[in-house]
């Protein structure tokens, strides 16, 4: 990859007529045509629109990629080349661009929308007829929407800045942070609607079976939207989102599944479990490969080499597990079962009502949430100590509660939903981190025992990491138990308990 950063460039966004008028006023300058060509301008993002949501615009035209990153009410501009049609952020060599992209998009970046355009390049000359800058004008199809990118030549930055200031004085829109919003207004297809959060909006009086079916259908479609990314191995987050969507669907069916026929609910919970189970090993491997750099940071320099064999072993396992998952997802059986599930929750459920089918979704959801809260309290009271296994079960209970609130919070809590979810997630994440430390110890020792080829440092490295993670786990346990005690206080629990409207 050849990377050419042009952060000294200035970027204008304007209407074509306004730009032409402003350029005509620049009588001390001349514009010599260098070349012009038609070129598709392709907007890139993660498929859930993480860059666009932050007003970051990444697009490809000709041989180059262009990145506009808003900062201090204007855009920083970068230009670079990349051979691949799909971005994997870790592949990028330049730390500036990685720093911009990494916080907002874990997923791969790929084409979202192709816009017809014309790119014209001019040599900008001063009154002495010296070329001081390159001006690249990108005009988008019939909308008279134009980018003007001005890049100073070496030694002429100050003169180019004078030209830029002159254009600004004519009132041109100088990259004020609204480029993305303007583009989305003109090109609705840029308005990415995918989210791993449940988006379906329900009403309190909706029938429970219809409401739950809508939620499960949405989650199945979210899982399906990630399959292509899994098959192409664009990014590990596609598999993660696929699994989370299925987990939410199974959890919701386990808590409010009585709105459907019990046998049908049991059958589809089993199918969804199978869809997820086949990916368990691959997800575990992905997590540990992602953790390797973090593990290295925990170790003294002389022990880091011991992780090389662990990483090689995991990558070997990943190849076979990836093939297994891909074969499953492309199988006739999976496609048939997935289609059957979608058909049932879209329309087939009406022929298989459960005992709660005729009730309002508010009442069913409120009862499920209260039952889930009662389960947490009972579990804690029965536990004399918080073993890792007990905390893991508690974490699962909190996930069930959070999924219920995410699905039905708008009808139960209204505007309070997000605040309640945020508190639950923070607590759940802490328990999750505790559980991760515990699992790291188990998994690393398992890998060590399974590896036939390992260097002298491998065992020392794993034992050192075991000590580190045991210390971290034990230290975090006290914090988790203190937060749990605060959460389970009556005043806090009461915030989550919906009142019955029966």
Same domain, 300 and 420: no
> In this model, does residue 110 exceed pLDDT 90?
no
Alpha-carbon span 138 to 121, nearest angstrom: 9
Average pLDDT of span 369-387: 74
> What value does the mean pLDDT of the chain take?
85
Alpha-carbon span 344 to 51, nearest angstrom: 35
Q: Is 126 helix (H, G, I), strand (E, B) or coil?
A: coil
Q: Residue 199 has what DSSP assignment? A: -
Q: 4 lies in a domain?
A: no
- DSSP letters for 257-309: GGGB-HHHHHHHHHHHHHHHHTTHHHHHHHHHHHHHHHHHHHS-GGGGGGHHH
Q: Which of the four pLDDT bands, split at 50, 70 and 90, describes residue 417? A: very high
Tell me the pLDDT tens digit for each residue of 296-318.
Answer: 888 888 888 888 888 888 999 99
Q: Which of the four pLDDT bands, split at 50, 70 and 90, describes residue 381? A: low
Domain that holds residue 16: 10-190
CATH number, residue 388: 1.40.20.10
Q: How many domains does the chain have?
A: 3
User: What percentage of the chain exceeds 70 in pLDDT?
Assistant: 92
Closest CA to 339 of 256, 200, 217: 217
Q: Which of the four pLDDT bands, split at 50, 70 and 90, describes residue 3? A: very low
Tell me the pLDDT tens digit for each residue of 245-289.
Answer: 999 999 999 999 999 999 999 999 999 999 999 999 999 999 888
Q: Which of the four pLDDT bands, split at 50, 70 and 90, describes residue 5? A: very low
Same domain, 347 and 381: no
Same domain, 47 and 129: yes
Q: Which of the four pLDDT bands, split at 50, 70 and 90, describes residue 112? A: confident
CATH number, residue 138: 2.40.320
pLDDT score of 106: 65
Q: Is 246 helix (H, G, I), strand (E, B) or coil?
A: helix
Alpha-carbon span 218 to 346, nearest angstrom: 10
Tell me the pLDDT tens digit for each residue of 38-50.
Answer: 878 888 888 888 8
Same domain, 156 and 209: no
> pTM value?
0.82
Tell me the pLDDT tens digit for each residue of 171-205.
Answer: 776 555 567 777 787 777 777 778 888 999 999 99
Same domain, 166 and 291: no
Q: Is 120 helix (H, G, I), strand (E, B) or coil?
A: strand
């Amino acid at each position: 990859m050849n990377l050419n950063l042009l952060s000294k460039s200035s970027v204008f966004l304007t209407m074509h007529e306004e730009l032409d008028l402003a350029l005509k006023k620049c009588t001390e300058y001349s514009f010599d045509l260098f070349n012009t060509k038609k070129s598709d301008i392709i907007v890139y993002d993660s498929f859930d629109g993480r860059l666009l949501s932050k007003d970051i615009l990444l697009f490809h035209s000709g041989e180059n990629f262009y990145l506009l990153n808003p900062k201090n009410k204007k855009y920083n501009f970068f230009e670079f080349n990349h051979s691949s049609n799909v971005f994997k952020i870790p592949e990028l060599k330049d730390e500036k661009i990685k720093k911009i992209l990494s916080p907002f998009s874990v997923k791969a970046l790929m084409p979202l929308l192709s816009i017809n355009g014309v790119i014209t390049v001019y040599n900008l000359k001063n009154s002495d007829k010296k070329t001081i800058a390159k001006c690249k004008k990108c005009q988008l199809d019939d909308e008279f929407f134009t980018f003007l990118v001005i890049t100073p030549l070496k030694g002429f930055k100050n003169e180019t800045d004078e030209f830029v200031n002159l254009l600004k004085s004519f009132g041109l829109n100088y990259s004020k942070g609204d480029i993305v919003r303007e583009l989305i207004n003109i090109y609705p297809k840029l308005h990415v609607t995918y989210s791993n959060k449940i988006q379906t909006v329900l009403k309190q009086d909706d029938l429970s079976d219809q409401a739950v079916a809508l939620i499960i259908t949405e989650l199945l479609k979210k899982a399906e939207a990630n399959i292509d990314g899994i098959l192409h191995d664009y990014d590990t987050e596609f598999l993660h989102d696929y699994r989370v969507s299925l987990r939410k669907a199974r959890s919701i069916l386990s808590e409010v599944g009585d709105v459907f026929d019990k046998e049908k609910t049991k059958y589809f919970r089993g199918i969804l479990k199978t869809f997820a189970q086949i990916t368990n090993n691959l997800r575990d491997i992905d997590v540990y490969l992602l953790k390797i750099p973090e593990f290295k940071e925990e170790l003294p320099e002389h022990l880091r080499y011991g992780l090389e064999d662990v990483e090689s072993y995991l990558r070997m396992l990943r190849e076979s597990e990836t093939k297994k998952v891909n074969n499953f997802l492309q199988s006739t059986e999976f496609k048939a079962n997935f289609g059957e599930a979608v058909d049932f929750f879209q329309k087939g459920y009406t022929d298989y009502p459960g005992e709660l089918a005729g009730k309002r979704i508010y009442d069913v959801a409120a009862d499920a949430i209260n039952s889930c809260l009662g389960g947490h309290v009972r579990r804690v009271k029965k536990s004399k100590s918080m073993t890792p296994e007990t905390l893991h079960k508690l974490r699962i209970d909190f996930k069930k509660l959070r999924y219920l609130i995410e699905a039905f919070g708008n009808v139960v809590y209204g505007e309070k939903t997000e605040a309640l979810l945020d508190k639950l997630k923070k607590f759940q994440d802490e328990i999750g981190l505790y559980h991760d430390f515990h699992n790291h110890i188990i998994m690393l020792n398992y890998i060590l025992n399974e590896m036939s080829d390992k260097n002298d440092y491998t065992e020392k490295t794993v034992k050192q990491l075991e000590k580190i993670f045991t210390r971290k786990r034990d230290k975090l346990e006290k914090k988790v138990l203190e937060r749990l005690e605060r959460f389970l206080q009556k005043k806090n629990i009461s915030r989550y308990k919906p009142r019955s409207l029966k």
